[in-house]
Amino acid sequence: MGTFQAGFDRTVITPPHGTPLRGYFFPREAEGVLDDLELNTLAVGDGERAFVIIVADLCQIPQPRAGRYVRAVAEKTGLPEAAIYINCTHTHTGPDVGRGAPENPWEEALEHYLVSSAQRALADLSPATLAVGRGRVERVSFIRRYRMKDGYVRTNPGVNNPDILHPIGEPDETEQVLRLVRPGKKEIVLVHFQVHPDGVGGSKVSADYPRFVRETVEQALGGQTLCVYLNGTMGDLNHVNNFPRPGEQNGLEAESFDDCLRGYEYVKNMGRAIAGEALKVYGKTAPVNPLPLRFAEKIIRVPSNRPTPEELGKAQHIAELHNAGRDAELPYKAMELTTAVAEALRMVRLKDGPDEFALNLTALAMGEVAFLGIPGEPFSAIGRAVRERSPFPMTLPSGLTNGDEYYFPMAEAYDEGGYEARSSAYKKGVAEALIQASLELLEEIAPQ
């Protein structure tokens, strides 16, 4: 074990016009660019071991494709596969990746971008120290599942909807900040928070609010820092404030297909708010020992949420109409339409199996700080449980890491209903299994 080192790379990965976009249940192609998409890569090493955290401004990369990218980065850098952590911010105005369609030229280039970014970050390694801090960002991230007066649970039921009884749960407003100081080189600041990046909408490419977290931190600190934004567990959190105070709707535009207001100016403010708390914490971070470096991965198997024969007939009818572009003939609207379609597509997709799925977890540690990667969209309660029960003083859980296998709802959500549970590919209990496996994995790499 030698001297702790840190390196950084930033690579622009903005796709060309016409590239298919990911994020909704209808096709979109890139019609322009609001801001560039990036890879922001943090490398750390000690002279003997190293790992890389690549944060991509992408919606998601499914496990099979993510596995290919991990293997490519490992092969070209000489790092073990367990030392490769590819995370997607989950912007809904980014390109589609690895979902079965023929690869376009941009998608073919993505593997090269990932490999070269990791190589440059490793080449940039230089002696560093590590300091950490925590803060709280209020009224930026909101629970999106609500109990209605009729007893049902709805996701995104609409702003000021008089039929809302109460949100189901509390938003996770915890922000964690890492400060890596490198004498003679720019510092690296990593900001960890949790909320869906789905505030822009439309068909123009944008990194959504994570772009403005990075940009604001770097500008405020005089261009002497490099910022990485790592999204946490946000499967049941988004930007929609259903009971806004005066001024809190500024920057939002007309309602869209799912009863959600969106707006580019609004996501800029989200980014500034998250960055503002990071700046408050920045000067009060406490030094911690960044060594030893450890990493490990774990695969768990969970049961598939296959349909019953009674459910399948209706699901096939909904899926057929949706795939034919005939959503208007379905008796649903707004987010209820999205929920019904997502549930039907899940049932049709799983009608012939498989009976179970393999999910890969990735854990990295530098001294007292751990990263825990989950390959999908975990509910925020998963992240809280992992943080609170982790053997590390600071743990940064993140979804959409080395894979995207859709939603991981808590057990009670399956009884309550709502978009996430009805569309989930997994049976009740998946979240609890992930928590247990994550804690076991963290124990494996915890300092003895």
Q: Which domain holds residue 338?
A: 307-352
Q: Count structural domains, the chain.
A: 2
Looking at the fold, whether 190 and 287 belong to one and the same domain comes out as: yes
Residue 89 — pLDDT band, cuts 50, 70, 90?
A: very high
Measured distance CA(243)–CA(146) in Å, rounded: 12
Tokens 């080449």: give the residue.
Answer: 123
In a domain, residue 164? The reply is no
Bridging pattern class, strands 50-56 and 84-88: parallel
Looking at the fold, whether 249 and 378 belong to one and the same domain comes out as: yes
Of 352, 372, 389, the last residue of a domain is 352
Looking at the fold, whether 322 and 177 belong to one and the same domain comes out as: no
Asked if pLDDT for residue 430 goes beyond 70, the answer is yes
pLDDT at 25: 82
Looking at the fold, whether 268 and 392 belong to one and the same domain comes out as: yes
Residue 255 — pLDDT band, cuts 50, 70, 90?
A: low
In a domain, residue 413? The reply is yes
Of 352, 386, 420, the last residue of a domain is 352
Buried b (16+ CB within 10 A) or exposed e, 107-144: beebbebbbbbbbbbbebbeebbbbbbebebeebbbbb
Looking at the fold, whether 221 and 278 belong to one and the same domain comes out as: yes
pLDDT at 294: 98
Looking at the fold, whether 334 and 382 belong to one and the same domain comes out as: no
pLDDT at 250: 96
For the segment 285-334, what is each residue's pLDDT rounded down to a tens digit?
999 999 999 999 999 999 999 999 999 999 999 999 999 999 999 999 88
Asked if pLDDT for residue 413 goes beyond 80, the answer is yes
Looking at the fold, whether 429 and 317 belong to one and the same domain comes out as: no
Looking at the fold, whether 31 and 98 belong to one and the same domain comes out as: yes
Looking at the fold, whether 287 and 323 belong to one and the same domain comes out as: no
Handedness of CA 385, 386, 388, 391 (dihedral sign): positive
Chain-wide mean pLDDT for the chain? 95
Q: Give the contacts of 397 (CB within 8 A, at least 6 positions apart).
A: 232, 233, 371, 372, 373, 374, 378, 382, 383, 386, 387, 438
Measured distance CA(68)–CA(85) in Å, rounded: 13
pTM over 0.85: yes
Helix (H) or strand (E) holding 421: helix 419-423
Of 352, 384, 417, the last residue of a domain is 352
Looking at the fold, whether 31 and 122 belong to one and the same domain comes out as: yes
CB–CB of 200/391 below 8 Å? no
Asked if pLDDT for residue 9 goes beyond 90, the answer is yes
Q: Give the contacts of 356 (CB within 8 A, at least 6 positions apart).
A: 301, 302, 303, 304
In a domain, residue 184? The reply is yes
Looking at the fold, whether 130 and 210 belong to one and the same domain comes out as: yes
In a domain, residue 162? The reply is no
Supply 80's token pair. 């073990």
Asked if pLDDT for residue 34 goes beyond 70, the answer is yes
Residue 1 — pLDDT band, cuts 50, 70, 90?
A: low
In a domain, residue 155? The reply is no
Asked if pLDDT for residue 203 goes beyond 70, the answer is yes
Residue 105 — pLDDT band, cuts 50, 70, 90?
A: confident
Asked if pLDDT for residue 247 goes beyond 90, the answer is yes
Asked if pLDDT for residue 254 goes beyond 80, the answer is no
In a domain, residue 386? The reply is yes
pLDDT cut 90: percent of the chain above it: 92
In a domain, residue 287? The reply is yes
In a domain, residue 150? The reply is no
Looking at the fold, whether 330 and 393 belong to one and the same domain comes out as: no
